[in-house]
Structure 1
Amino acid sequence: MPTDEAPPPGLLPGAEPFAFPGGTDGGGTGVLLLHGFTGSPFSMRPWGEHLAAAGFAVRAPLLPGHGTRWQDCNLTTERDWVDAVSSAFDELAAECDRVVVAGLSMGGTLAIRLAELRPDDVAGLVLVNPSLLTQRLDAKLLPLLARLTPSWTPIGNDVKKAGVTELAYPRLPTRAVLGLRRLWTATRADLARVTAPLLVFRSVTDHVVEPASVRVLLADVSSADTAEVLLEDSYHVATLDNDAPRIFADSVDWIRARVPAVERKTTGELARPCMEAAAARTRATSAGEEHS
């Protein structure tokens, strides 16, 4: 059963963080899912459900300043996002033998940053259209824009599939974008520290992130195990788009292939810490409700 964390006041319906316990097929592996800038775990939930069905423990936190009002995002910095990701990683790592970090857009940037800061802890990276830079003119004018206006018109809902709408802010918080740019700069500077296995999905047509981000990433990381998969039928928010089934299936296969063969033979034993920790959380929650 999924466990949805208590939502903060003013949370947009559908933006809730979520977690799924691991099963006997997951090999004791957890997957941390990270949403993008101005987005929410809504864009990661179908992927999380697929990973959980494959037996992996899953956690998708809501990043600070997200899922409420765009004004709240302007009150946060890249440090807040990095710290939140590190805390969520620790919570999942306490339950599992290893944790793979997956992210969409800025969530991919944060996943990379975590692998730079904690190279011995991150078991693998699965990234969908990660962002590391932009060459757009409005981005170059951002320092001026941030002084003149607190928000800007975003590209918005870059999804090719008809009838699908990403849950994200209707305005781009300009001060928070300055924090995103600082995150890009710090992450690009330390790419050589990334040694974890790396799988990157890149949409051929992406109106938000330029192809240069993935080119820089693959050129500069130290990972010996890297792969890029091109998505021909999706735009930027590919986890909700036409190629989502491929992302879901390929990521499961990729993660399973990187669990050592000797460990795959005893997946039931290795998955038990994930299941027992989830059961303990459920018992603690039930006990609290009985005494409330």
Structure 2
Amino acid sequence: MTTSARQIFNEGDGHAVLLLHGLSSSPLELRYLSRFLNDEGFTTCAPVLGGYSAGSVEQPMEQWLDAATHEFDELAARYDRVSVCGLSIGAALGLALVHRRPQAQSVALLSLTLTYDGWAIPWYRFLLNWAYYSPLRWRYRYRESEPYGLRNEALRAKVARAMERDDFSEIGPATISLPALHEASRLAAFVRANVGEIRNDCLIIHAIDDETSSPRNPRFVASSIASTFLRTIWLDDSYHMITSDNEREIVARETALFLRESELASRTGDLSGTPVVSKALARRLRQLAAVGRVKA
């Protein structure tokens, strides 16, 4: 096994999983998930993508997709099956990738982000799209702030200290440039226009209280994608960074289970997997209903 802040690769069986981290970040976001999946037998690869990952010269989103496609093709040449799993903007990139490579076994979408519309996004966020076309384009950087995508307060404090010291942490960068955000918006527009053509088995895991990407993001994909085998799981004790937060074990376990079920379904020809909604969502909906009755 080889692991570094630059890339992660774990040799396993003939089912490889390509892991795509979030915008301007690094494979460190996916370290726990990669290790867990490898312990379950999968080959895992969390690469650095030129023009997309932290430390590389920023490029248009087409370059991101080309880089991800190259990594997919490298795995496909060596392994029987390749699935794609993305986090945040990486999930949007994963959808664009399987649209280009429909032979992918399946796609897992973790904290899918097509629009930054969570409860912690500042009101002026929409102005950044206009700022991109101004002199601010090369000077302004959007700064991450509390809660840093984490409901776990101890981990949040650790991340805050790391960002103050190094401008980077295991859950991502302290700032993101306007060009990167602009290209992420272009990628999201591409996904919205083409998601209805995607037929790959699909897993969606999203936190109900995601402060960065509201549930409207995964609901749009769940209602638009043409997958026969679609599973949706809602979390109620995490924020955006679900691969690091309180329910990271659930995320890893459910991802591994889905990948094996997808593999088994394709072998047996049984693609009648029924959509799954987690108990967390049912519980939260009951809580909201109770609050509504009290207010009424």
Q: Which residue of 2 aligns with 1:213?
A: 217
State the Cα deviation string for residues 206-257 of structure 1 (Å, max 9, x = none): 1111211111101111111111101111110000011110111111111112
Write the letter of the residue equivalent to 1:249: R
| Amino acid in the other structure paired with 1:18 | I
Please state if 1:76 is matched with 2:53.
no
> For residues 80 and 92 of structure 1, do their structure 2 counterparts lie closer, same or farther at Cα, with a shift above 3 Å needed?
same
* Equivalent position SS for 1:248: helix
- Which position in structure 1 is the counterpart of 2:2? 3
SS of aligned partner of 1:260: helix
| In the alignment, structure 1 residue 127 sits paired with structure 2 residue 131 | no
* Pair 1:138 & 2:142 matched: no
The SS at the match of 1:113 is helix
Correspondence for 2:29: 43
TM-score w.r.t. length of structure 2: 0.77
TM superposition shift of 1:145: 2.1
* Cα distance in 2 for residues equivalent to 1:192 and 1:242: 33
CA RMSD of aligned residues (A): 2.0
Q: Distance in 2 between matches of 1:53 and 1:33?
A: 15
In the TM superposition, residue 131 of structure 1 has moved relative to its aligned partner by 1.0
Higher RCO (C-alpha under 8 Å, 6+ residues apart): 1
| TM-fit CA distance, 1:144 | 2.7
Taking the aligned partners of 2:218 and 2:231, their CA distance within structure 1 comes to: 11
Residue in 2 that maps onto 1:91? 74
Q: Aligned partners of 1:180, 1:213: CA distance in 2, in Å?
A: 14
Q: CA deviation at 1:138?
A: 3.1
- Give the match's secondary structure for 1:101: strand
The answer on 1:159 being equivalent to 2:150 is yes
Change (3 A) 1:29 1:68: closer
**Distance in 2, Cα, partners of 1:126 & 1:257:** 13
Letter in 2 for 1:186: F
Report how far residue 139 of structure 1 moved: 3.7
Answer with 240-249 or 251-260: which moved more: 251-260
| More deviation, 102-111/249-258 | 249-258
Q: What whole-Å deviation, never above 9, does each CA across 1:159-217 have from its counterpart, x for those lacking one?
A: 11233234322212011111000000011100111101111001011111121111110
1:194 pairs, out of 184, 198, 220, with 198
| Structure 1 alignment gaps of length 5 or more | 5-13, 265-292
Percent of pairs identical after alignment? 27
The 1:44–1:116 alpha-carbon spacing in structure 2 relative to 1, beyond 3 Å, is same
- Per the TM alignment, residue 39 of structure 1 is displaced from its structure 2 partner at its CA by 1.8
Contact 1:32/1:99, CA 8 A, preserved across alignment: yes
TM-score (norm: length of structure 1):
0.78
Give 5+ residue unaligned stretches, structure 2: 160-168, 269-296
Aligned length: 246
